[in-house]
């Protein structure tokens, strides 16, 4: 009887063991991470990055093959300032053997942003060159490389890549190309290479004969080397080549000529400019300045009256008339123009230049906006 009982118990134990073994050996269905990942994406959409990061980490713990989740974890860490950790994650992803081409491209883009945030432009450019190879030099990748060259002040390479982009688009813009040469020249001058800098400015003028900064920085370079005649020659070329914006060089012209006591030469330059461009107001006032310096107040007044007749709302004309009339004792007339200025609530601030793209304000003209990095947005 006991033998039968033992056999029965053994059979039961055996059956239970088999059932446990089968259960343990049966593969579990993969955990469903879609809900967790979707929640993370929703947090990203609403800008709750910390919560998104928590859910993304939960998603990759459940599924280590979720490349997109890892990618977003790295991007969030970069945005939070943990750039080195972001680089580590993205570099780890790019080493995975089973990534699709699209995934590799996306990971490379994130890695470029990582190095960019770290201002490690050398590595960012290296990764971007790999991206170019993978995308067969698609324009958007070239534009990304161009931005890196700009940020790293590598203007020669930036110039070359911009030419390629323009060629691919079938639209050449020598004005922008010239500005890249100007930036290259400024960089050389900052390194103490005045002559090399001037060569770049001349290359800019070959590309764009009306390239204002090239003429202005050329003249500045000559002034630093105490070569006022050469500086003046460049400013005269600029004034005749681009009369609409020639006023940008007037202060330099007057400084050179007044310092040398060459009032007659200054008068001849501005009289000639005014004769050829009677509608450009700043030329008229530059000449009025010279007449005032020479003590010829009546001539200066006549120019300002003419400016006021041409444009009765000209604030500059009213300023000059108020100043000149007061200087010769005609105080009542001077006060009249002064009160007009007050009534119009004229600010006595410095001349301002505003970027048409982002609204950045500067007291001097900029050809590459330091805020939005657009080109030629300050001056028509």
pLDDT computed for residue 3 by the predictor: 53
> Does pLDDT of 245 surpass 70?
yes
C-alpha 201/C-alpha 186 separation (Å) is 9
**Which of the given ranges, 155-164, 246-255, 300-309, has the highest pLDDT on average?**
155-164
In this prediction, residues 242-261 reach a mean pLDDT of 83
Most confident option among 5-19, 154-168, 234-248, 306-320: 154-168
The pLDDT score that the predictor gives to residue 35 is 82
- Cβ–Cβ under 8 Å, residues 151 and 116: yes
Strands 353-354 and 361-362: antiparallel
| Structural tokens at position 61 | 């713990």
Query: What's the rounded Cα separation, in Å, for the pair 352 and 305?
Result: 25
Residue whose entry in the numeric block shows the structure tokens 């009289």: 271
Pick the residue with more confidence: 25 or 310?
Answer: 310
With the C-alpha atoms ordered 236, 242, 244, 247, is the resulting torsion angle positive or negative? negative
Give the pLDDT band of residue 81 (cuts 50, 70, 90).
very high
What is the location of CATH 1.25.40.10 in the chain?
65-168
pLDDT value at residue 144: 96
Residue 359 has what pLDDT? 81
Highest mean pLDDT among 188-202, 245-259, 305-319: 188-202
Q: CATH: 3.10.580.10, 1.25.40.10, 3.30.360.10, 1.10.150.120. Which one for 65-168?
A: 1.25.40.10
The confidence score (pLDDT) of residue 20 equals 46
Distances in Å between the Cα of 22 and the Cα atoms of 26, 29, 119, 208 are 6, 15, 57, 81
pLDDT-above-70 percentage for the chain: 89
Q: Rounded to two decimals, what is the model's pTM? A: 0.74
Q: Which pLDDT does position 22 carry in this prediction? A: 43
């Amino acid at each position: 009887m006991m033998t039968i009982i033992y056999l029965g118990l053994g059979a039961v134990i055996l059956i239970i063991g088999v059932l446990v073994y089968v259960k343990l050996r049966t593969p579990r269905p993969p955990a469903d991470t879609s809900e967790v990942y979707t929640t993370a994406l929703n947090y990203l959409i609403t800008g709750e990055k910390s919560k998104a990061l928590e859910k993304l980490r939960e998603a990759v713990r459940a599924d280590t093959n979720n490349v997109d989740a890892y990618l977003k974890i790295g991007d969030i860490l970069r945005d939070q300032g943990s750039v080195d950790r972001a680089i580590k994650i993205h570099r780890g992803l790019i080493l995975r053997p089973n990534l699709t081409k699209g995934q590799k491209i996306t990971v490379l883009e994130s890695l470029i942003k990582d190095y960019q945030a770290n201002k490690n432009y050398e590595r960012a450019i290296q990764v971007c060159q790999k991206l170019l190879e993978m995308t067969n030099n698609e324009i958007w990748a070239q534009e990304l490389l161009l931005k890196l060259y700009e940020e790293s002040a590598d203007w020669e390479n930036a110039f070359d890549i911009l030419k390629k982009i323009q060629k691919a688009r079938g639209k050449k813009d020598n004005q922008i190309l010239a500005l890249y040469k100007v930036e290259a020249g400024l960089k050389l001058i900052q390194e103490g290479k005045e002559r090399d800098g001037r060569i770049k400015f001349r290359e800019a003028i070959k590309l764009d004969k009306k390239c204002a900064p090239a003429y202005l920085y050329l003249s500045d370079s000559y002034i630093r080397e105490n070569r006022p005649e050469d500086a003046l020659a460049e400013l005269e070329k600029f004034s005749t080549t681009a009369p609409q914006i020639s006023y940008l060089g007037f202060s330099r012209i007057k400084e050179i000529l007044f310092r040398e006591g060459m009032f007659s030469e200054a008068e001849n330059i501005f009289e000639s400019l005014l004769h050829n461009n009677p509608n450009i107001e700043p030329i008229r006032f530059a000449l009025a300045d010279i007449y005032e310096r020479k003590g010829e107040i009546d001539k200066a007044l006549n120019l300002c009256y003419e400016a006021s007749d041409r444009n009765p709302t000209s604030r500059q004309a009213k300023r000059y008339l108020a100043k000149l009339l007061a200087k010769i004792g005609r105080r009542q007339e001077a006060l009249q123009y002064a009160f007009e200025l007050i009534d119009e609530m004229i600010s006595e601030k410095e001349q301002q230049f505003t970027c048409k793209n982002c609204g950045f304000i500067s007291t001097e003209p900029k050809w590459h906006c330091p805020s939005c990095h657009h080109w030629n947005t300050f001056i028509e």
